Amino acid sequence: MKKVISVVGARPNFMKVAPLYREFKKYNDRLIHLICHTGQHYDEKMSKIFFEELELPQPDFYLGVGSGSHIEQIAGVMLQFEKIVSAERPDLVLVVGDVNSTFACSLVASRYGIKIAHVEAGLRSFDRAMPEEVNRILTDAIADYLFVTEKSGMTHLLQEGVGREKIFFTGNVMIDSLVHYLPRIEQSDILSRLGCDPGQYILVTLHRPSNVDTPEDLAALFNMLGRLSERQKLIFPVHPRTRKNLERFGLLEKISDKILLTEALGYLDFVCLIKYASVVVTDSGGIQEESTFLKVQCVTVRNNTERPVTVEEGTNQLIGTDASKIEQAVDRVLDGQVKQGVIPELWDGKAAERICRIIAEKIC
Ligand code: UD1
């Protein structure tokens, strides 16, 4: 029997590993699949609810690393993950996405001579001020099997000198989860709980350090959201980083009462809110993909995106962080000037099937 350990750490990892977990079960005559949760995200709203909704089992290993500086987090994950790897000696470590846990566990596996699979390889924002960009580059540099969600990923990896034989264009596992859970997503009662109607609200999420970590930028964004909330009801599920900063900068009391702030939401409720939004305003990476798949208009509050296919083919518009430009972009959407989109190639709900088949062929 061969042994694979898949790593999850932070919120955007859970929906990527869930379809892989289901698929790996098909190979249980040859392959043991274990899940290691680093505990980078640890609370009810950022972790537990995702395990429940996505029907993930209790992780086989829980590292309990928690919050801290990025260095504490990366070093903490490495120290704990080393113990697992040296005891378990897996044949493959599978990592997803670009969070600190992704890179930390890859480096440990590499030092132990264990093969690494990176799911969502090759994405590049070309902005090294983003911790995720550095995590992506470093992980791809040491991975053995690189699974790519969009063609730009292949181009970047080839340009960086990764051997063609290591790269596999397999589609998007995040979309696998969306496809799988769509019937349950559509049954969520979140719209009635928040008192809003389909197509009659703006959905906002902001949590990137570059947008929310300074008082000036965060205040300017919230002033802009206040003006947007005059046009349509505005719903903002707040990430813990953003909430902490709103409190720290004394901005919480100043927010327009037309903006409906909620706690961070679970998977089913949140994707339901995307599906029925008139427009999504976000700085998240994954939401650019989910809105593209659902053909919902998305205004991205960033100067770059590592997911260009969402702009070139999907419904995403890369607007930047200038408040007036964001407002104009949302206005254009609300006035009916919508961008047509198509669903990118291989975003068909079958990415995990392809990935697990390749992994089984390679290691069994
Ligand atoms: C991390 C990822 C980011 C991803 C995001 C999704 C990195 C470098 N960043 O950023 O790519 O988009 O997750 O959420 O890995 N906190 C809680 N409860 C939790 C987890 C965090 O309250 O369960 C709070 C803590 O106060 C913490 C803050 O949120 O300091 C930020 O968490 P952290 O894991 O450092 O980074 P994120 O901003 O969440």
CA of 127 to the centre of ligand 1 (A): 19
Distance CA 282, CA 82 (A): 36
| Closest C-alpha to 299, from 209, 234, 359 | 234
241 CB within 6 A, ligand 1: yes
Distance, CA 207 to ligand 1 centroid (Å)? 9
Question: Beta strand pairing status for 201-205 and 279-282?
Answer: parallel
pLDDT of residue 34: 98
Query: How many angstroms separate the CA atoms of 184 and 92, rounded?
Result: 33
Catalytic one of 156, 180, 207, 239: 207
Nearest Cα residue to atom 24 of ligand 1: 240
Clarify whether 207 is annotated catalytic: yes
Distance of alpha carbon 61 from alpha carbon 49, whole angstroms = 18
pLDDT of residue 310: 98
> Is there a contact between 173 and 6 (Cβ–Cβ < 8 Å)?
no
Give the type of residue at 258.
K
- Ligand 1 proximity of 245 Cβ (cutoff 6 Å): no
Q: How far apart, in whole angstroms, are the C-alpha atoms of residue 121 and residue 137?
A: 9
For residue 161 the two structure tokens come to 């000198």
- Give distance in angstroms: CA of 336 to centre of ligand 1: 35
Is the distance from the beta carbon of residue 33 to the nearest atom of ligand 1 less than 6 Å? no
What's the gap in Å between 10 CA and the centre of ligand 1?
A: 7
Cα 193 to ligand 1 centroid, rounded to whole Å? 26
**The residue type at 200:** Q
Q: Is 283 in the pocket of ligand 1 (CB under 6 A)?
A: no
Q: Whose CA is nearest to atom 13 of ligand 1?
A: 10
Rounded CA separation 362/301 (Å): 40
Rounded distance between C-alpha atoms, residue 351 and residue 334, angstroms: 34
Pairing of strands 316-318, 61-62: unpaired
Cβ pair 139, 131 in contact under 8 A: no
Is the beta carbon of 240 within 6 A of some atom in ligand 1?
Answer: yes
Q: What distance in Å separates the CA atoms of residue 157 and residue 142, rounded to the nearest whole number?
A: 12
Question: Can you tell me the distance from the alpha carbon of 310 to that of 343, in angstroms, rounded to the nearest whole number?
Answer: 9
244 close to ligand 1 (CB < 6 Angstrom): yes
Which atom of ligand 1 sits closest to the CA of residue 102?
15
Mutate to test the pocket of ligand 1, among 38, 41, 211 (most ligand atoms within 8 A of CB): 41
Q: Which of 13, 16, 42, 67 to mutate to test the pocket of ligand 1 (most atoms within 8 A of CB)?
A: 67
Report the pLDDT value the prediction gives residue 257, as an integer from 0 to 100: 87
Measured in angstroms, how far is the CA atom of residue 49 from the centroid of ligand 1?
16
3-state secondary structure the chain: CEEEEEEECCHHHHHHHHHHHHHHHHHCCCEEEEEEECCCCCCHHHHHHHHHHCCCCCCCEECCCCCCCHHHHHHHHHHHHHHHHHHHCCCEEEEECCCHHHHHHHHHHHHCCCEEEEEEECCCCCCCCCHHHHHHHHHHHHCCEEEECCHHHHHHHHHCCCCHHHEEECCCHHHHHHHHHHHHHHHCCHHHHHCCCCCCEEEEECCCHHHHCCHHHHHHHHHHHHHHHHHCEEEEECCHHHHHHHHHCCCHHHCCCCEEEECCCCHHHHHHHHHCCCEEEECCCHHHHHHHHHCCCEEECCCCCCCCHHHHCCCEEECCCCHHHHHHHHHHHHCCCCCCCCCCCCCCCCHHHHHHHHHHHHHC
CA-based radius of gyration for the chain? 20
> For position 44, what pLDDT does the model report?
96
pLDDT tens sequence for the chain (364 residues): 999 999 999 999 999 999 999 999 999 999 999 999 999 999 999 999 999 999 999 999 999 999 999 999 999 999 999 999 999 999 999 999 999 999 999 999 999 999 999 999 999 999 999 999 999 999 999 999 999 999 999 999 999 999 999 999 999 999 999 999 999 999 999 999 999 999 999 999 999 999 999 999 999 999 999 999 999 999 999 999 999 999 999 999 989 888 999 999 999 999 999 999 999 999 999 999 999 999 999 999 999 999 999 999 999 999 999 999 999 999 999 999 999 999 999 999 999 999 999 999 999 9
Q: Could you tell me if the CB of 120 is within 6 A of ligand 1? A: no
Instruction: At 269, give phi and psi (nearest 5°).
Output: -65, -45
Partners of 235 in beta bridges: 203, 260
> What token pair was written down for 45?
């709203």
Nearest C-alpha to atom 18 of ligand 1 is from which residue?
A: 43
User: Has this prediction a pTM greater than 0.85?
Assistant: yes
**Ligand 1 atom showing the smallest separation from residue 97 Cα:** 11
CA of 102 to the centre of ligand 1 (A): 13
Euclidean distance between CA atoms 327 and 319, whole angstroms: 10
